[in-house]
Amino acid sequence: MEGLFNPLSILLHTLNALILFVALYFLLYKPVKQFLDRRNAEVAKTMQDADETLARSQAEYAKALEKNRGAQDEVQQILKTGAQQANDRAQAILNDARAQADEILARARKEAEDILANAREAMADETAALSVEIAGKVLGREISLSEHRRMIDDFLKKVG
Amino acid sequence: MEKAARGLLYTAKPLTEEEHRAVEEKFAAVTGREVSLTECQCEELLGGIRVELLGRVYDGSVQAQLRHVLAVLQDKEDRHA
C-alpha cells in the first residue's frame, strides 16, 4: 500500500505538472494568445477599413444618384426648351414661306398686268397703223389731178 | 447766184412743165442757187410732192401727212396708257 500512495511521488508529480503548466504557459499559451490577439486586431482593423470603405461608397453612390437626378431634370428641361424652340422656328419658317408666296403672287399679278397693258398698247398701235394704211389706200384711189395740183400749190406756199 | 444745185422731185402724178419749173423756181428762191430737179414718179406718195435738195427733204405728200397722223395716234394712246 505504500507503493500506491506515496506523498513524495504525489508531490513530485504535482511539481512536475506545475512546471509543465508554467512551461506550457510561457512556451505555448502566451505566444499563441499573442498571435491570436494580433490576428484579432488585424481582423478588426480590416473590418473597420471595410466599414469605412462601405460608408464612403454609399456616400459616393448617394451623390451620384443625386447628380443623375439633376441631370435628368436638366435633360427634361433641355428637351422642353428644344421642342419650344423647334416649334417657334417652324412657325417662323411657315410665316416666311407665306410672305414669300404672297410676294410671288403679287409679282406674278403685276407681271400679268404689265403684259396685258403692253399687249393692249401693241394692239392699239397696230390698229392705228392699219387704219392709216386703209386711209392711204382709199386716198390713193380718190385723189384727183386737180387735188394733186392744189396740194403742190399749198406746199410751195409753205416752203421757205 | 451761187453754183447750181441738183435735187430729186418725187411726185405721185406726173407734173406739167410749168409745174416742174414753178417748183424749181421756188426752191431757187429759198436756197439762193440755180436749182435743177430730176422728176421721179412715186405712187406711194398718194398725192403731192417731195423734194430732196442739198441734204434736206421737203415733204408735202399725203404719205407724210398720214405718217404724222399715225405718229400722233400712237403717241396719244401711249400717253393715255
Nearest CA in chain A to B47: A148
Q: What is the pTM of this model?
A: 0.52
> Cβ contacts (< 8 Å) between A154 and chain B: which residues?
60
How far apart, in whole angstroms, are the C-alpha atoms of residue A116 and residue A130? 21
Binary contact (A159, B63; C-beta < 8 A): no
A71 alpha-carbon distance from chain centroid: 15
How far apart, in whole angstroms, are the C-alpha atoms of residue A151 and residue B62? 9
Question: For residue A144, is pLDDT > 90?
Answer: no
> Cβ contacts (< 8 Å) between B27 and chain A: which residues?
159
pLDDT in tens, A73-124: 999 999 999 999 999 999 999 999 999 999 999 999 999 999 999 999 899 8
How far apart, in whole angstroms, are the C-alpha atoms of residue A80 and residue A74? 10
Look at residues B70, B63, B61, B72 and name the one whose alpha carbon lies nearest to residue A154. B61
The residue type found at A18 is L
pLDDT in tens, B8-30: 999 989 999 999 999 999 999 99
- Give the burial class of A14: count Cβ atoms within 10 A of its Cβ; 0-12 exposed, 13-18 middle, 19 or more buried: exposed
Residue B16 carries which DSSP code? P
Backbone φ, ψ for residue B2 (5° rounding): -75, -175
- The runs of H, that is alpha helices, within chain A are 7-24, 30-142, 145-158
How far apart, in whole angstroms, are the C-alpha atoms of residue A34 and residue A19? 21
Question: For residue A39, is pLDDT > 70?
Answer: yes
Identify the sign of the CA torsion B68, B72, B75, B78. Answer: negative
Strand-pairing partners, residue A58, are none
CB pairs under 8 A between A and B: 76
The interface predicted TM-score (ipTM) is 0.83
Q: Kindly state the cell numbers that stand for A2.
A: 505504500
**For B31, how many CA atoms within 13 A lie in the half-sphere containing its CB?**
24
Nearest CA in chain B to A129: B70
Question: For residue B80, is pLDDT > 90?
Answer: no
Q: Kindly state the cell numbers that stand for A114.
A: 404689265
Q: What percent of chain A has pLDDT over 90?
A: 76
Average pLDDT, chain B: 88
Nearest CA in chain B to A151: B48
Binary contact (B26, A156; C-beta < 8 A): yes
Domain ranges of chain B: 2-80
How far apart, in whole angstroms, are the C-alpha atoms of residue A118 and residue A146? 44
How far apart, in whole angstroms, are the C-alpha atoms of residue A60 and residue A53? 10
| CB contact set of A121 (below 8 Å; sequence gap of 6+) | B77, B78, B81
**B17 to chain A, closest Cα gap in Å:** 13
Residues of B within an 8 Å Cβ radius of A: 11-13, 15, 19, 22-23, 26-27, 29-30, 43, 46-49, 58, 60, 62-63, 66-67, 69-70, 73-74, 77-78, 81
Q: Are A159 and B26 in contact (CB under 8 A)?
A: yes
